[in-house]
Amino acid sequence: MTSSIRLGLNEKLYACADTTCEVHAPTASFERDLFTRQTGQALITLGKIFVSVHPFNEHIDRNTGELLISLGNKLKALK
């Protein structure tokens, strides 16, 4: 008897038999692309906060915010 459990969007699929378990990585790169774009958007947002929000821009160098925005744009552009 073999059973399969889907743990989540980014989790691996485990197919277990009576005595052995096999781990199968997701075959589609959709999940990785989605994660990359979301990470890029998060970096852009954080960078804009560091550049434009008053308490942050006093204590964090402007170059740090601009670097985060630049990295975020590069990650969002990857396909």
pLDDT of residue 30: 83
Residues 31-70 have pLDDT tens digits of 888 999 999 999 999 999 999 998 888 889 999 999 999 9
- The pLDDT-based confidence of 25 (bands split at 50, 70, 90) is low
CB atoms within 10 A of CB 20: 8
What residue type is 37 in one-letter code? Answer: R
Q: How far is residue 48 from each of residues 30, 55, 57, measured CA to CA in Å?
A: 27, 13, 10
pLDDT band at 21 (very low <50, low <70, confident <90, very high): low
Q: From CA 49, how far away is CA 24, in angstroms rounded?
A: 39
Indicate the helix (H) or strand (E) that contains 16: strand 13-16
Positive or negative: CA dihedral 48, 50, 51, 53: positive
The predicted pLDDT at position 24 comes to: 56
